[in-house]
Amino acid sequence: MKVRFFYPAILSLVLISLTNCSGYHFNTNNNPLIGYDIKTVAVPMFINRSVLPQLAAPMTKEIILALNNYSGLKVLSGDNENADAVLIGILESRDHYNEVITTTQTLFTEGDISKSIGNRSPFYYPVQTTYNFSLRIILIKRPTAEELALFTSDLGRGVLVHPKIVLEDTIVLTGNFARVASPTNTVTAAGEVNFVKNKGIFDKSLQDTCYQAAQTFKQVVLNAF
């Protein structure tokens, strides 16, 4: 007796099914927290415990913008007791500035730069800088003032499981920027504003890193829910 295999027919049916579903895709713009009955989220200003000043405002802004992309989820800035949940952000880093911001590339003072240092001995100056910090995020459903104080304290790290904590994760962030080192050997030399330029470049780099953190945060939320 011959046994007949129907693989081609089965394969055809599978291909037809896949073809009919080819236009289907998951909608990642819908509220991912609806399963927890969360339709409103309050986002107070993030807590900055890093050595990088003025980091809380741009990070809070980027996370709020990321949450605003979800339809069916209303985002409220600041402390709002009427929200279904509160998103806490804590920015952290090592304790010492030179451990957080490190020089990864240097150049030797020569050419026009050597004329700018006067009688000083030649030295290496930084041209590439890297920095590291982390963002700890905690999504808490209808927390009390006492619970917020606990979760944002050092003791809060010991609370690994709590019925009100919907999401807790830490995003490790790294950024870098190139420094400007123009000569200052004449009255009109561009090097007169080296510090101002470098501060602006650093601030812009931090802003870009905050944006990347928000994109990573969206992936964390989608993977979690």
For residue 10, pLDDT over 50 is answered with: no
Q: Which residues of 161-178 are buried (b: 16+ CB within 10 A; e: fewer)?
A: ebebbbbbeebebebebe
Higher pLDDT pick, 95 / 27: 95
Query: Is the CATH number of domain 28-224 3.30.160?
Result: yes
Residue type, 16: I
Cα 54 to Cα 71, 111, 166, 201: the distances in Å are 30, 36, 28, 14
In the chain, domain spans: 28-224
Average pLDDT for the chain:
79
8 Å CB contact between 202 and 177: yes
pLDDT in tens, 166-220: 999 999 999 987 876 655 655 555 555 455 576 888 899 999 999 999 999 998 8
Predicted local confidence at residue 108, as pLDDT: 60
Mean pLDDT over residues 65-76, rounded? 94
Mean pLDDT score, 113-134: 72
Q: Residue 210 region, left (φ>0) first, then alpha (ψ -120 to 50), else beta?
A: alpha
Closest CA to 62 of 165, 196, 208: 208
Q: Quick count: other Cβ atoms within 10 Å of Cβ 28?
A: 12
Q: Is the pLDDT of residue 20 over 90?
A: no
pLDDT band at 25 (very low <50, low <70, confident <90, very high): very low
Q: What's the count of helices (H) and strands (E) in the chain, helices before strands?
A: 6, 7
What global pTM score does this model have?
0.75
Q: Are 175 and 183 in contact (CB under 8 A)?
A: no
Q: What percent of the chain has pLDDT over 90?
A: 46
pLDDT digits (tens, 9 = 90+) for 146-176: 999 988 888 877 776 789 999 999 999 999 8
| DSSP at 115 | H
Q: Which amino acid is at 164?
A: K
Q: Which residues contact 202 (CB under 8 A, 6 or more apart)?
A: 129, 177
Among 28-32, 40-44, 76-80, 159-163, top mean pLDDT goes to 40-44
